[in-house]
Structure 1
Amino acid sequence: SNTRQMEQRGQFRITVWEEEHFHGKRCEFMLECPNILERGFQKIRSIKVENGPWVGYEYPEYQGQQFILEKGDYPCYQAWSGNSGYRTEHLLSFRPVKCANHSDSKVTLYECEDLQGRKFEICDDYPSLQAMGWCSKEVPSIKVNSGAWVGYQFPGYRGYQYIFERDRRQGEYKNYNDFGTQAHTNQIQSIRRVQH
């Protein structure tokens, strides 16, 4: 498969450090890590993504807040949490996002849960869904037709992040419980394609 070829060519590579600014214990990964504690780390506080993208999680086993980690340097937690306003000072699990395809990405937003009601197809990045015609601050359900996307709680790519992928859940996120374990609401006001 294409994904396997990408893995073999080292398409996914991340280096993590226990302390900020690339200090302390370090380790390189090319595959997912469900629990950094089992690798003898207490936490991850800085990251370099050589080949990605990846998603990092607040807790082991891909639980809690999720953060997209695209190619680049993340010297401290502010670099991955951005202007989210939610402090997650370390990450404890992470995995590659294997279906990102910036040039072929499509997602369908639905007015109701379970992929029901009026729908809105998008293929581009939207810093404000309301500004482009979505009449609500909420997106009750989402279907990823292709690629990988990051939805954000607030306009301007702020607030909680939710990673939506074509190759997980068959691309179907039928209610906010599917968005992630930290999702307490279906509020999504901006969305963009994952860079790779």
Structure 2
Amino acid sequence: MGKIIFYEDRNFGGRYHECMSDCADLHSYFNRCHSIRVESGCFMVYDRTNFMGRQYFLRRGEYPDYMRTMGMNDCVRSCRMIPLVKSHRMRLYEHSDMGGRMMELMDDCPNLMDRFNMSDFHSCHVMDGHWLVFEQPNYTGRQFYLRPGEYRSYSDWGGVTSRMGSIRRITDL
């Protein structure tokens, strides 16, 4: 089980809302979010309802000034709890609909260009585990959460381009 607490003010002040599962619409619980405490588990938070918009990964810890730490506005509108699993496996494809060259990953990859001589992937299939995809190498830039399933186009995981710079497994570190 995971538990995340959203606070309206910095340093864990003001109104708050506790959440222990996915929540597609947090807007009715608080007006703004300036600090977050993750008591257990891992979560993705989104700046739009229904798990849409910019995504930010949070693991157990305290985020007393969430906006400054994450470079985000004060809008947190939905969150998803990420289950932790032991095995990870995904396939990346050169073209949409699982077409073209295929590369398989079972571990973290800080630089996809160095490893596969490619950085544009148009589709993927996550067979096992939960992953974070980053637009830039070394786990930087915009991030996207991928859970088991088929992503026939980069827009299916929320990407605005097909660029992937690095990929990391979500594990309990």
* TM-score calculated relative to the size of structure 1: 0.81
Once the 2 structures are TM-superposed, how far is the Cα of residue 146 of structure 1 from its aligned partner? 0.3
Q: Which residue of 1 aligns with 2:33?
A: 44
Counting strand residues as a fraction of each chain, which structure ranks higher? 2
Q: 2:42 aligns with which of 48, 53, 57?
A: 53
Task: Give the CA deviation at 1:175.
Answer: 0.5
1:143-154 alignment, distance < 5 Å:
143-154=125-136
**Which residue pairs with 2:106 in the alignment?**
123
Deviations 1:62-117 (A, max 9, x none): 121111122222222343x3xxxxx422322112123x32x311111111111111
**Distance (whole Å) between structure 2 residues aligned to residue 195 and residue 47 of structure 1:** 20
Q: Which residue of 2 aligns with 1:24?
A: 14
Q: How does 1:92-111 map to 2 (within 5 A)?
A: 92-98=77-83, 100-101=84-85, 103-111=86-94
Alignment-derived partner of residue 175 in structure 1: 153
Q: 1 CA distance for matches of 2:123 and 2:39?
A: 33
- Equivalents in 2 of 1:162, 1:66: separation in Å? 6
Q: How much identity, in percent, do the aligned residues show?
A: 31
Structure 2 gaps, min length 5: none
Distance 2:105 2:113 in 1: 13
Find the counterpart in structure 1 of residue 72 from structure 2: 88
Provide the secondary structure at the position in 2 that maps to 1:36.
coil
* Matched letter for residue 117 of structure 2: C
The answer on whether the counterparts of 1:56 and 1:95 sit within 8 Å (CA) in structure 2 is yes
The number of residues matched between the two structures is 170
Find the counterpart in structure 2 of residue 140 from structure 1. Answer: 122
Distance 1:32 1:148 in 2: 15
Matches of 1:78 and 1:123, distance apart in 2? 33
More helix by share: 1
The amino acid of 2:168's aligned partner reads R
Structure 1, residues 26-58: CA drift from partner, whole Å, max 9, x if none?
12111222222212x112221111222111001
The amino acid across from 1:192 in the alignment is R
1:149, 1:194 within 8 Å by CA — same for their partners in 2?
Answer: yes
SS of aligned partner of 1:131: helix
Cα RMSD between the aligned structures? 1.5
Tell me how far apart the structure 2 counterparts of residues 78 and 42 of structure 1 sit (CA, whole Å): 18
Q: Point out where structure 1 has 5 or more consecutive residues left out of the alignment.
A: 1-10, 82-86
Query: Offset of 1:176 from its aligned partner?
Result: 1.2
d(CA) in 1 for partners of 2:44 and 2:8?
17
Q: Secondary structure at the match of 2:24?
A: coil
